[in-house]
Amino acid sequence: MITGLPSPRVPDPRDAPVLGWGVLGTGWIADKFSSALRAATDQRLVAVASRELPRAEAFARSVGAQRAHGDSARLFEDPEVDVVYVASPHHLHLRDASAAMRAGKHVLVEKPLALDAGEARALAQVAHETGRFCMEAMWTLFLPKLDVVRQVVAEGILGEPQTAILDHGEWFEPDHRIWRPELAGGALLDLGTYTYAVADHLLGPGSVVAADVQMTSTGVEGQVLGAVTHASGARSVHHASMLAETPARVVITGTDGLLEMGSRFCMPGPLTLRSRDGASTGSWDEPATGHSQLFWQAAEVARLVAAGATESPLRPLADSVRTLELVDQVREVSGLGRRPAL
């Protein structure tokens, strides 16, 4: 229900031109994406690939893919695959997405696009050289609620944006890959990229002016704080943690009011608009929860690829590079230094 807030302007995902999709990886995000794709769109789930063929075959059966491949090369050679969803571990994104594009496939690359800004620029260069579509799967930006937020900011409903406070904390079991430095784990890439991407998307480019990092015993960032000054004059404050559950909200304040994105801001959920005196003037919510709306980004890819585009205006590669530049700046300002090579 919408009360005093704009309506989302998102096309019906089933109206998107139908493409053949391949999925590289069989982890939980690949499962969530594949399930959402089949449930809410008419896209064709052609094939999945894993280093272990039996694992790929079992995954294909569970998500309804037509076939399985025992290595990425066979997936990239599959003539019925138009787009590859790259859901391999972070440190393999540059390698896998580059190989897919060089094989003639378009790619949707799970976030983060790469390990750092240098890798992201290299991937953007491959996309330019091959003429293939390439987009980071920063799925939050494609949700209906984010279109509402974009309109609130762009139409000046909040007045002049002043400050954004962005929090994303989750607790992970000790055996989760986020604890493993050799798999590019840590709160900064897994969780922090959401906050920096959303702030950049809504407030524009900025620079990290302060940062602090608490490391874990395994050698990854357990908790990360950052402050960004945006060229627009707005400020944003960021917190990401893999050590504890937090409210995971975003609050954007302006000269005339504030907008709150409710708990688990990166997922479907509620919005609340308040006037400068704190009175509620509008609210918006959506029934779908969790990762059930991962399909919006896929529908965007299908429409753009069919139109001959090579990037998305909502998440162009330059924006993905900027997000990772902020991540790199957090490491530099906090004293962590450059990310070790993997």
Give catalytic residue positions.
Answer: 111
Collect all residues with Cβ–Cβ distance below 8 Å to 109 and sequence separation of at least 6: 86, 93, 97, 123, 134, 135, 136, 137
Q: Under a CB-based contact definition with an 8 Å cutoff, are residues 102 and 126 in contact?
A: yes
Closest CA to 110 of 170, 231, 199, 194: 194
Chain-centre distance for alpha carbon 267: 10
Cα separation, 244 vs 222, whole angstroms: 9
> Cα–Cα distance between 275 and 247 in angstroms, integer?
22
Three-class DSSP category at 91: helix
Strands 206-215 and 280-284, sheet pairing: unpaired
Per the structure block, which two tokens stand in for 101?
């594009």
The token pair at 116 is 């750092």
SS3 97: helix
